[in-house]
Structure 1
Amino acid sequence: MKQVFSFLFIAFLSTNIFAQTTWKADPAHTQVSFDIVHLGIAEIEGQFGEFQGSITASNDDFSKAEYEMEIDVASINTGVERRDGHLKSADFFDVENHPKLIFKSNSSEKIGDSKYKVTGDLTFHGVTKPVTLEVWHRGTIENPQSKDMTSGFAITGTIKRSDFNLGADFPEPMLSDEVNIEVDGEFIKQ
């Protein structure tokens, strides 16, 4: 009897230790945005409207979570149709040849209360580079309407467009080399 109890106890612990939960981005309550400085004097903002994101976690505090994001670059929207068309062209994103922007994490380190430093590979415009992002887990609640468990996250970082050969014919100060990126929204437990 002791052996059966021991086996069941070990099986229970193993299930809890290795259980992973996946959280998917809720497109209706998530924004993927960026900003860049134009002519050294004005910040231009934009968003990507089509994306998929997931967070896979084995801990409730997301301390060792894995993050993935895939963005449809053609969904770029800066509020100016002519500028959006130029950004989709070979001068910048070259959407025809490079339609996706992909991030996949490879490490996550807790740096404070509900805050993490996440490192991973960012791929777009035919280039893959390591980047580090800051993640703030804002909390988890049950959505009163859908009854889904929902977690809020703010994910921010800065990349250099020169690292990805983006807009090489548009040097500083015409466009800043640094681009701030942000994913802010809700992820639903699957």
Structure 2
Amino acid sequence: MKRILLTTVLASACAAAYAAPVSYDIDPMHTYPSFEADHMGISFWRGKFNKTSGVLVLDKEASTGSVDVKIDIASVDFGLDAMNEHAVSPEFFDSAKYPQATYKGKLADFVDGAPTRVVGELTLHGITRPVELKINRFKCIPHPMFKRDLCGADASAVFKRDEFGLTAGKDYGFSMDVNLRIQMEAVVPEKAPKP
């Protein structure tokens, strides 16, 4: 009887350990939020942010999780220096006053172990609004080099930039719609060496 009880306790402990949420560090070398915005109704400006950090938390067994992402606004990159300088100026992002954008959300609607949505809030230009991400792809694998768990995702959303106080071009008839696309990879951090 004691042996059965011990086996049950150990099995429960193992199951609980397996079900525990796992934290992943977002890999800044493989995570680039990009966006597309109207230019006078005749073309689109496309850009990305080159510096991103944050944490993904995932509980595969419970089908829950969260994301907490920080974006360096001054790292905006349109592929054109003059446009980059304008984008960080007070007339647009005003990166001196608002140096960081954040996105915090909960993973939702898991299908076959993978989330299909993120329900969260974007803080941009000092304003926080709900923005829901559609997850187009989500997958976790053992990292081929680090030998630690690696998760990646492709997500998208559409939001109105004037709701965040970014109204440049509105008086000229620019559409305020922004198409957001996020490529993200995150890896379980390396364990600190024991003293």
- TM-score tier by shorter-chain length is 0.7 to 0.9
The alpha-carbon distance between structure 1 residues 112 and 8, as it changes in their structure 2 partners (threshold 3 A), is closer
CA deviation vs aligned residue, 1:65-97 (integer Å, no higher than 9, x gap): 201110010100101111111111111111111
* 2:18 corresponds to: 16
Q: Identity percentage over the alignment? A: 27
| 1:123 partnered with 2:123 | yes
- Would the aligned equivalents of 2:36 and 2:178 in 1 still touch at CA under 8 Å? yes
What amino acid is aligned across from residue 181 of structure 2 in structure 1?
A: E
| 1:50 partnered with 2:51 | yes
- Would the aligned equivalents of 1:105 and 1:120 in 2 still touch at CA under 8 Å? yes
**Which range moves more in the overlay, 67-76 or 78-87?**
78-87
Q: Distance in 2 between matches of 1:52 and 1:121?
A: 16
TM-score by length of 2: 0.83
* 2:86 corresponds to: 86
Higher strand proportion, which one? 1
* 1:148 corresponds to: 148
CA deviation vs aligned residue, 1:7-60 (integer Å, no higher than 9, x gap): 44444443333x111122222222221111111111111011111032101116
What amino acid is aligned across from residue 183 of structure 2 in structure 1?
A: D
* 2:192 corresponds to: none
Unaligned runs of 5+ in 1: none
- Would the aligned equivalents of 2:67 and 2:107 in 1 still touch at CA under 8 Å? no
Q: Distance in 1 between matches of 2:113 and 2:131?
A: 22
| 1:161 partnered with 2:161 | yes
Tell me the C-alpha RMSD between the 2 structures: 2.4
SS, match of residue 110 in structure 1: coil
Q: After TM superposition, give the deviation of residue 169 of structure 1 in Å.
A: 4.4
TM-score by length of 1: 0.85
- Would the aligned equivalents of 1:114 and 1:136 in 2 still touch at CA under 8 Å? no
SS, match of residue 29 in structure 1: coil
Matched positions, count: 187
Unaligned runs of 5+ in 2: 190-195
